[in-house]
Structures are given as structure tokens and as C-alpha cells.
Amino acid sequence: MNILYFICYALFIPGFWSSGIKNACKYKIDEKPTVHIDMGMAGIWKMQEDTNAHDYLIVENDGDYQYRLTYMNRGGDNRGLEHFRFNLCEINGVKFFIIDNWDENYPGYLYYRINNIDQGTWYITASLVTDPAITKVSGVAELRELLVKNLDNPSFYGRQLHFVKHYEFNSFRRKE
């Protein structure tokens, strides 16, 4: 299964910006990432829910277990967030993106459930954990238990987000 569990930087949509930041978890499932990256995820991505047609995301591979993400907003003229690192974890066969929260008022990590990735890593759907219970866990074991308990609970997550890769860095071929 391919892993574009990345661009789950849907936090750039105004509604997700605030809700995502406030739902940062203080704990990371794995101290060191254990899920290998998908080399095919590197490229230029567009979040379909972003109403500015010129905003985009750049995903770059950063070693065997991490990605780097740069968000180009304001019509692609501004590096909204540059070279943020994120990685993956897997809970009972379900993969999540783990993204460091950049807001100092809500330190911790944001968790995105990967709902679907197509065979060629050109389309991804993901949902941010928005349930406030994630901010109250007291350790990694409790976090893991909370995620397992809510893997299939739709009210635990925000709305589904859709990402489309427009260019692939490995070959720079355009998906039509």
C-alpha cells in the first residue's frame, strides 16, 4: 500500500487550521518512526478542498522514515510552512500521518487517519483526529488504546480531505 500520508496538512483550510492545532496530542506513538516512506509520494500535490487554485504542497522524501512538506499558499507565492517533517505510524493495519504541530500554544502532534491511497499514489483521502480526547491522554499506551478504540468511529475524525498529485518528482510525469 502506498503512503501519501503526508499531505494531510489539511490544516491549511481555515476550519481545519484552528481545530487541528487545538487537537494536538502530547505524545508520539513511536519515539522513532518505524513505517518506511513510499518513494512515490514525492511530488507536487493539491488539496481539492483548498479554494485557491494556485496553492499547492511540495512533498519531499527525507530519509527512510520521514517526509518534508512545504505549503505554498497565497496563490503559490508564499511559503506558508517550509520543510516541516512528518512520518507515519500504523495502528491495527490503519496508517496515520503524524505531523509536528507548529503552534507553540498547542505543542504536540497531529494525527491524520489515511482512509485511502490509490495504487499509483496519485490520490489520497485522509481525516484529521478532531476529538478532544486525544489532548487528554496521559501516555503512549493510552494514546494507542484511544486510537484503536476509535479506528472506525466517524465522529472521532473531521471531514474527509482529498489530495491529488499533479507532478511526480521521480519522473516528473504529469497525471492526466
pLDDT band at 18 (very low <50, low <70, confident <90, very high): very low
The whole-number pLDDT of residue 83 equals: 62
Instruction: Round the average pLDDT of the chain to a whole number and report it.
Output: 80
Phi-psi region of 72 (alpha: psi -120 to 50; beta: other; left: phi over 0): beta
Better-scored residue on pLDDT, 76 or 134: 134
For every residue of the chain, DSSP letters joined together read: ----TT---GGGSHHHHHHHHHT-BS--S-SS--SPP-GGG-EEEEETT-S-TT-EEEEEE-SSS-EEEEEEETTTTEEEEEEEEEEEEEETTEEEEEEE---TTS-SEEEEEEEEE-TTSSEEEEEEB--GGGGS--SHHHHHHHHHHTTT-GGGB---EEEEEEEETTT-PBP-
> What would the pLDDT profile of 108-163 be if each residue is shown by its tens digit?
888 999 999 887 778 989 999 999 999 999 999 999 999 999 999 999 999 898 99
Q: How far is CA 28 from CA 37, 81, 86, 90, 91, in A?
A: 17, 21, 11, 12, 12
In this prediction, residue 61 carries a pLDDT of 87
Q: Exposed e or buried b for every residue in 144-165, given b needs 16+ CB within 10 A?
A: bebbeebeeeeebbbeebebeb
Q: Is 3.40.50 the CATH number for 10-168?
A: no
Higher pLDDT, 19 or 78: 78
What integer pLDDT is reported at residue 117 of this predicted model? 87
**pLDDT of the residue at 48:** 87
How many other CB atoms sit within 10 Å of the CB of residue 36? 12
